Structure 1
């Protein structure tokens, strides 16, 4: 640098004679900083989008984990009581009361906890807790100490965990769909519920199929190769149930912590105040109240028949064991799976209430064919039709309640809605068990009771509630 250049620099001028600002590099630094910030924001946004979009698959895997174990339980629980212990309808009905009864006691508290706690942490804890009763019962079976009392203890333990699980799991789908919408996803709430229902039914079918191999050799038909499967000891299946439900805790790691509702209440009476507020919300909304009453009827007439009447018919009319329970339940949930897949193709159904009530009526009337003691393949056809109706009913009822419930009361509303279902189930199981024993030689006669009860309830729903005339308005 020569003497003239040094003099220009000292005067703050460049070679063109223009004066240079002492902060002339600020613009360049700001531009560079903005570029770095933009890049960081883009990376963060992409990472956030990936995390949000991974929530729905993770949620569906949680569904699969729980309901695969639930499918195993649906076969093993009645099989151990009716076939391994050789007990009758009354004992099976009381055992099912032990399984579903805790929900009546704890479900509302479960809804309050689901709103206040982190959904992610709560699901992890509950999945791990659900693995414990199955593992203990597996040990009891493996050591040859199975007794009716152990089945009652198992039922109470699993029913208690399930009471807290249902509102926590079912309310999260609303948040998952909402967060996906914020990052540009076009999945609607109805579709999200349908996807969750599909995962539930598919997982249950898998669990039911595996459970049907308990203590029995099963030969595949010739067109499938003619190979044999089983027998698989019952205790091994219960151990598998414990493992598969425990895996749900790992899938929950991919969920966000979610929203927590603060009601402003504190102290011992806070939970009761929250529950009371939930009941006020449900009773003030005609759709929510009607759906709760409908689910109470379904618990009494449908679930009671499903849990008690069908396993007894399977044993006494068709002379089958765990394989018959498997075929019966797989057929039912296969029907529910087919109807749920069909519903998932529609972004929004305008007349959800009419579809729901029509499906309930057709399913209830279909079981009257059992009065004629049809061949086993006709019996399975009836069960399949019943499953088709159940798939529509479950998906539509969940969509109606999820749409109608205020977001800050969603878990409490869902717990009350499910309470209607769960409160009816133990009474229905006990009633159907008593009726089965009243007709020991013709258990199929009990089909008249659920068919007549549901028909009267649906007629009341059409005449006295807004469900039949409601029109869904998609957001």
Structure 2
């Protein structure tokens, strides 16, 4: 019989077992399903790692900005009061230039933060923030420092900061939400507390470094008695430019985040979005109360912080950049300590009462300055002020983040920050004028912020829901 005429044989494998003609398809299907499951598992693990890495990346972005900010806190008043030898009025006007652009651009910054990718926005803004510091470094290195350049620097940094604040502060809400979806137990209150800790720790580092500007500092004997500095101011400004630019690299590890589409277009879209944000704030007692409180803090507290304390440092205690460093480090160290303590608690029910009590204690503590106490007592007062400040910053951010609608979060945060930033330039100008009104006893000005904040806190207790509010843990 020829090979062609042989009957068709059933396919057998090498073991002699019969193989189904469809068994190959089944095997391929099983292999494909197994490959899909493996791919999904690998993708899930990769996504999990990426989400988990977002919070550390965000905290590094926070550290980058605020270490540079800490340097600025020392160098800006030092260059004006000590290097240029100017008084409270000029320092107040320069601080108006530094905080004034926020009044103009902060609301627009909130709209931009909602519509743009937060990740891309942070990269661009960190790179832009490096330019004013680098430019001022060149001016100092060439010996051409004049008051006008300080005003230009203030306007430039204030403008960048107006867009930075809502972009950076609104992202923490998304980061915590994404972490909760992969099983993290970090609450929004804890996320805000971690961000506040990173802020204060970085600021302290920047303040310490800034205190070595143009001055030799000898360490205590228990630290070895070695000396540090003097470090030229222009070199510190170069370091400020580098450290803030590093934030752009850290921001790359963040997700792009959600973008809000309001359905508006054209030139009036931004104004429509801003108007809608104001309706939300004015219609919510907690949001309106917090915005009003921040306006008072800007006038009475920040004005004193930026103007009165540096003048007291120079005229009462005869100190320069080292004194500004010690003063601000002490304040932010107190804020750091209270923020670490708050981070232990997942949820504080009476956030409003804790906030207002801390504000009242801080406001009354500065009255001790009227007695012109020794420098160590002065620093103790500043530390207490810092403890209260850390509590109020963390609690106010938590209250606003929790109360604001998530699709309007950046706009609400920009309005909340506007209350703070709008009060700051007026407070700086007023405090600068009052300090010059009492040229021999600038510490007398302490009664103004103490009285102003006490009245404001009493109004908050009686006329807003902040004192009686209870926070609720939201399931995510």
Q: Distance in 1 between matches of 2:72 and 2:283?
A: 37
5 Å-filtered alignment, 1:36-51, equals 36-51=35-50
Cα shift readout 1:7-54 (whole Å, capped 9, x = no counterpart): 786367999999965323222221111111111111111111111111
Q: Measure, in 1, the Cα distance between the counterparts of 2:271 and 2:151.
A: 29
> What is residue 352 of structure 1 aligned with on the other side?
351
**Does 2:323 align with 1:324?**
yes
**How far apart in 2 are the matches of 1:295 and 1:377?**
29
Partner of 2:245: 246
Correspondence list, 1:109-188, <5 A: 109-188=108-187
Deviations 1:276-324 (A, max 9, x none): 0000111111100000000000000000000000000000000000000
In 1, the alpha carbon distance for the partners of 2:188 and 2:33 equals 38
Matches within 5 A, 1:59-458: 59-458=58-457
SS at match of 1:60: helix
What residue is the counterpart of 1:24 in the other structure?
23
Alpha-carbon distance between aligned partners in 2 of 1:336 and 1:160, rounded to the nearest angstrom: 26
Q: CA deviation at 1:153?
A: 0.3
- What is the CA–CA distance in structure 2 between the aligned matches of 1:14 and 1:446, rounded to whole Å? 98
* Structure-2-length-normalised TM-score: 0.97
Does the C-alpha gap of structure 1 residues 458 and 261 become closer, same or farther in structure 2, counting only changes over 3 Å? same
Deviations 1:399-427 (A, max 9, x none): 00000000100000000000000000000
8 Å contact from structure 1 (residues 331, 383) kept in 2: yes
Superposed CA offset, 1:411-466 (max 9, x none): 00000000000000000000000000111111011000000000000000001000
**Alpha-carbon distance change, 362 to 159 in structure 1, aligned in 2, over 3 angstroms:** same
Given that residues 96 and 307 in structure 1 are in contact (C-alpha distance below 8 angstroms), is that contact kept between their aligned partners in structure 2? yes
Mapped partners of 1:313, 1:454: distance in 2 = 20
User: Which residue in 2 is equivalent to 1:462?
Assistant: 461
| Alpha-carbon distance in structure 2 between the residues aligned to 1:125 and 1:271 | 20
C-alpha distance after superposition, 1:326-385 (max 9, x if no partner): 000000000000000000000110100000000000000000000000000000000000
Question: Deviation at 1:221?
Answer: 0.5
SS at match of 2:252: helix
CA gap 1:9/1:355 in 2 versus in 1, 3 angstroms? farther
Question: Structure 1: how far apart are the matches of 2:470 and 2:463?
Answer: 16
**1:460 and 1:307 mapped to 2: Cα distance?**
25
CA distance in 2, matches of 1:14, 1:124: 62
SS at match of 1:263: coil
Change (3 A) 1:374 1:17: closer
Task: State how far apart, in whole Å, the 1-side matches of 2:390 and 2:206 are.
Answer: 18
* Cα distance change of structure 1 residues 462 and 28 upon mapping to structure 2, 3 Å threshold: same
Check 1:173–1:255 CA distance in 2 against 1; reply closer, same or farther (3 A cut): same
Contact 1:8 1:14 in 2 (8 A): no
Rounded Cα–Cα distance in structure 1 between residues aligned with 2:243 and 2:39: 39
What is the DSSP-based 3-state SS (H/G/I as helix, E as strand, rest coil) of the residue aligned with 1:240? helix
Q: Distance in 2 between matches of 1:457 and 1:228?
A: 46
Distance in 1 (CA, whole Å) between partners of 2:207 and 2:72 is 8
Structure 1 runs (4+) greater than 3 angstroms displaced: 6-22
Secondary structure of the 2:23 match is: coil
CA–CA distance in structure 1, aligned partners of residues 297 and 459 of structure 2: 14
**Does the aligned pair in 2 maintain the 1:8–1:15 contact within 8 Å?**
no
Please provide the CA RMSD for this pair: 1.8
Aligned-pair distance for 1:165? 0.2
For structure 2, the 5+ residue unaligned runs are none
* Residues 12/359 of structure 1: CA separation in 2 closer, same or farther (3 Å cut): same
Q: Distance in 2 between matches of 1:98 and 1:243?
A: 23
Q: Quick one: distance in 2 between partners of 1:176 and 1:222? A: 45
Is the aligned partner of 1:55 residue 2:54?
A: yes
- Distance in 2 between residues matched to 1:384 and 1:260, nearest whole Å: 40
